[in-house]
Amino acid sequence: MSSILSGKNILLGITAGIAAYKTANLVRLFIKAGANVKVVMTPASKDFITPLTLSTLSKNPVHSSFTNEENDNDMWTNHVELGLWADLFIIAPATANTMSKMANGTCDNLLMATYLSAKCPVYFAPAMDLDMYKHQSTKHSFETLKSYGNIMIPATSGELASGLVGQGRMAEPEAILAFIEADILDQLPLKGQKVLITAGPTYEAIDPVRFIGNHSSGKMGFEIAKAAANLGAEVVLVSGPSHETVAHSFIEVIRVTSAQEMYEACHRYFDSVDMAILSAAVADYRPKNVADQKIKKASATFSIELEKTKDILKSLGAIKKEQFLVGFALETNNELEHAKGKLESKNLDLIVLNSLNDKGAGFGGSTNKVTFITRSLEIVQHELKSKTEVAQDIMQQILKQTHA
C-alpha cells in the first residue's frame, strides 16, 4: 500500500551524531514509501556513515560540499535548487551544533545554505547526550526553531552513546516516518471524510459469453480516487471491468460487473459518505432476457430487446442529505444545455462535462478536457490536460465549493 509520502521529494539532511548510522534505514523507508530522496551531509557526518551507502540506497548522488573536492573543474552544487526541489526537508539527526546554527542563521556548510534556501516544511529530529539535551541553550534552539515554523520530531528516552540513560536518543526511523505521515495527514483538507467514487464501464450480459459494454478504461475514476486519497479522504472506489489498479492505504476497491451491481454497491455506501463522485460510464440499457446458453448463429439478423438500467446518479440525488454529489456528462451536441439539464434533474452539486467533439477527451486516452458547471450554474472551463491533472482540478473545485 502506498504512503501519503508517495511521489514526494524528500531532502534528508544528516549531521555529525552517532545516530547518523540510522539514516540508512530511514532512506530505505522513504524509498519504500514511494518518495524520491536526496541527501545532504555535513562534512563531519561522513565519519559516521558513508556517502556511498546513502547514494546507493537513495539512487541519487550525496552532496556534502559546494564543489567536488576531487575535481576543481566540477560544477558548483546549487543549494537553492536543492531547497526548491524538496517537498519536505528532514534533518536527522539534528545535533546541538547544527540546531544552534539553524536558530542563528550561521551558514558555514552546504546543509545550512540549503536549509536557509528551503521553501518547504522542515522537520528536525534532535539527537544528543542527556546533559546536552537538557541544557538551556538547547531548549532555546528548540523554541527558536519551532517559532520559525520548523517541526520538531521529539527525541526519545533510552540508552545513549555515553552510557547514560535518558532523553536525547533520536527517534527511530519507523517513528520518524510515522510522525511525518501523521503530521501531513493532520493538515490535509479531507482528513476524516469519506468519498464514494465510481469508475470504468459496466458489462451487461447477453449470454454467458457476450455482453453490451463501452470503451471506458476507468482511468479517470482511478485518478480521482488517488487525488481524493492524497487529500486525506477515505475512498470507496466502485469499479466496473477495468485493467486499472491502485495500491493506496486510503482506497478500498469494490469490483463489480453490471449496472445493477454498481447500483447496489453505491447504495450500500452512500449513507456513510460525505461526497460521491460518479465518473463511471454506466450502461443505459441492458438485455431484457439473458440467455442461459451461448446463442447460436442461426440467421442473418438477430434482435435483442433492451430495457433501461436504474439511473444510479439520479437515485442518489433523490435520497441525498448533506452529501456533495458530482456527476459526469459525456455529450456530442448541445453540450452545455444537456449538462445543465442533468445537473438540475439529478440534484447534483457539480457536473463535469466532457465533449466528444474535443480532441484528446473522452474514453481510452491519458488526457481529458473538461468543463465544470456548479450548482449556481457557474461555468469553469479547463484546457486539455492529463487525467491526473484533471482529477486534481476536480478535487480542487470540490474543495472550493465545500470549504468556501
Cα separation, 310 vs 262, whole angstroms: 10
Cα separation, 367 vs 217, whole angstroms: 12
CATH code of residue 44: 3.40.50.1950
Q: Is residue 250 part of a domain?
A: yes
Q: Rg (Cα) of the chain, in Å, rounded?
A: 27
Same domain? 142 vs 245: no
Per-residue pLDDT at 354: 85
Q: Is residue 220 part of a domain?
A: yes
Per-residue pLDDT at 164: 64
Last residue of a domain, one of 186, 209, 236: 186
Cα separation, 320 vs 317, whole angstroms: 5
Beta strands in 116-267 (DSSP E): 122-126, 151-152, 156-159, 165-169, 194-199, 204-205, 211-212, 234-239, 251-255
Per-residue pLDDT at 380: 95
Q: What is the domain count for the chain?
A: 2
CATH code of residue 355: 3.40.50.10300
Domain carrying residue 91: 9-186
The residue among 2, 156, 4 whose CA lies nearest residue 92 is 156
Q: pTM (2 decimals)? A: 0.79
Same domain? 382 vs 243: yes
Helix (H) and strand (E) counts in the chain: 13, 22
* Kind and range of the H or E run holding 138: helix 136-147
How long a stretch of residues is the chain? 404
Is 214 known to be catalytic?
A: yes
pLDDT tens-digit profile, the chain (404 residues): 567 898 899 999 999 999 999 999 999 999 999 999 999 999 999 999 999 999 999 999 999 887 665 555 555 566 778 889 999 999 999 999 999 999 999 999 999 999 999 999 999 999 998 888 999 999 999 999 999 999 999 998 777 676 766 677 899 999 999 999 999 989 999 999 999 999 999 999 999 999 999 999 999 999 999 999 999 999 999 999 999 999 888 999 999 999 999 999 999 999 999 999 999 999 999 999 999 999 888 888 889 999 999 999 999 999 999 999 999 998 777 888 999 999 999 999 999 998 766 666 556 578 888 999 999 999 999 999 999 999 999 999 999 999 86
Last residue of a domain, one of 186, 220, 251: 186
Catalytic residue among 9, 60, 214, 347: 214
Q: Which residues contact 26 (CB under 8 A, 6 or more apart)?
A: 12, 92, 173, 176, 177
The residue among 264, 253, 268, 261 whose CA lies nearest residue 286 is 261
Last residue of a domain, one of 186, 209, 240: 186
Q: Is residue 301 part of a domain?
A: no
What's the grid cell of residue 401? Answer: 465549493
